[in-house]
Every structure is written in C-alpha cells, then in structure tokens.
Amino acid sequence: MIDLRFSEAELTAQREHIVGFVEDVVDDAGAEGAVLGLSGGIDSSLTAFLAAEALGPEGLRGLVLPSTVNREDNMSDAERVAEQLDIEYDVIEIEPFVEGLRGALPEVEGDEIAVGNARARFRGVLNYAVANHENRVVLGTGNRSEALAGYYTKYGDQAVDCNPIGNLYKTQVRQLAHRVGVPEDIVEKPPTAGLWAGQTDEAEMGVTYETLDAVLAVHVDGPLSTSATVDLLDVDRETVGRVDTLYERSAHKRAMPPAPEVLSL
C-alpha cells in the first residue's frame, strides 16, 4: 500500500487551513456560529475539535441524535466529546420521527435502506431547524473517501453547508485526529454510519479504508489504470473494480440535481 499520511509540517498546515476555513464560512454567512451533529465517531469528533478551535466553545452547538439502532457507547462518546470541548449540546431521540414515518408509510417496515436513510435525513432536518433558529451554519462531517465512494445519504448526512474535513482521506482523518487530541478509543473504533443495527462502513462497502483510500488516490483521483493500480498496490482486479463501481454509481450524489436543457423557442 502507499503511504497517504501527512508530514509533520503538512499536518500543521492542514489543521490551520481547516480552522481558517470554518472561520471564513461562518463569517461569510453572517452567522452566529455553527451546528454539528455528534455521532461519537472519528469524523464528527475531529470536526468538533477543529470547529471549537475555530469558533470557540460558545460558537459551536452540538446535537446528539440517537436512535434505537445506535450503539450506546457511540452516543456516550458523542457526549464525552462535547463535554471535553465544553460546548453546549442537546440530546434528541430521533426514533419518534422514524415511527411517524412507519405509521405514514407502513410499506417501508423491514426495508433497512429506506428506514436507515430516513434516520440520516431526520438528523439533517433537526440540524437545520436549530441552525435556522439560532442563525448558525450546519457543519458536515464527510471526508474525501466517503465522497468519492458515495458512502453517505443523499440529503441526509450531507445536507450541510460545508464539509471542513472533506478533502481528507479517511487515513488522513485518523492522523489529524491523533494530532488534535481526539480520544484514542474514538480514533481507533470501527466507523459506522449508524443506519441500522450492526452496520459498519467497511463491511457494507466490502473494502477496508486503507485499501479504499489507496485505490482512490492512485486510480480515481490519480492517473493509474486498473492494471497499474493492481501492480502498485498488490490488490486484485476485483477490488479495484469494486471501488470503480462505488465511484461510478454515486456520481449523482456529487452533482446538482439535473434539469432538461434550456430549449431555444
């Protein structure tokens, strides 16, 4: 595998760059601060640490939005991060919203994807309700690996105003999280979107983040062909093909909703 980690100087530069980015987004919006959904995972925790550095504790509002499929320790970690950073936060159970959906559309019962994506979208609705009420922007927690693989819910966890760590591959997220002081157990635990019970990112995508990041860097972002990627990374063609498929099938998530061409009348 290739090494995507930053040098010490690059780590410092990335930290300063992201902190400045968050400051600029809030200032340009004329906002009073930012809202961030806290999941207890590495991405939201790193974003929280950097946003609190940019805005101060008073400038960041956290929302912990558990459902019945979330691991209790993840929600405890989300609160632990908020308390460590001394930011105001609220805990809002989202399952009542999900039950409302099931009542209105009984046919979705048992459809893990439909209900799981609805959970992500309800969280987005709550983030924006608070943001609108308090004149804040909504910070996303998406990274580059998730964006290129399409591993997020359209109009759900990416219903946001910006993604401060959006240019970092997952392996770089881990490295920067170590640097800024995110608790070690949060950095190292298996990532999960928390859409249904027992779900993990790597199991659902069928590839580890280490391999995904490497293929994305040299083959999707980079110039290497499938054959050259297989040789360089010592992975099989099926793995490269799986990453290609994730990227190609999620192209619609990275584009504005299409409209017909303008007719000349």
Q: What is the mean pLDDT of the chain?
A: 93
Fold of the 8-191 domain: Rossmann fold (3.40.50)
**Is residue 71 very low, low, confident or very high in pLDDT (cuts 50, 70, 90)?**
low
Q: Is 258 exposed, middle or buried (0-12, 13-18, 19+ CB in 10 A)?
A: exposed
Q: pLDDT at position 183, please?
A: 95
Q: pLDDT at position 190, please?
A: 78
pLDDT of 199 strictly over 80: no
pLDDT of 241 strictly over 60: yes
Q: What distances in angstroms separate CA 138 from CA 19, 22, 134, 193, 253, one per listed residue?
A: 15, 11, 11, 18, 19
pLDDT of 196 strictly over 60: no
* Three-class HEC string of 37-68: EECCCHHHHHHHHHHHHHHCHHHEEEEECCCC
pLDDT of 193 strictly over 70: no
In this prediction, residues 40-61 reach a mean pLDDT of 97
**Does the global pTM surpass 0.95?**
no
In the chain, domain spans: 8-191, 206-253
**Is residue 1 very low, low, confident or very high in pLDDT (cuts 50, 70, 90)?**
confident
Q: pLDDT at position 75, please?
A: 79
Q: What percent of the chain has pLDDT over 90?
A: 84
pLDDT in tens, 127-143: 999 999 999 999 999 99
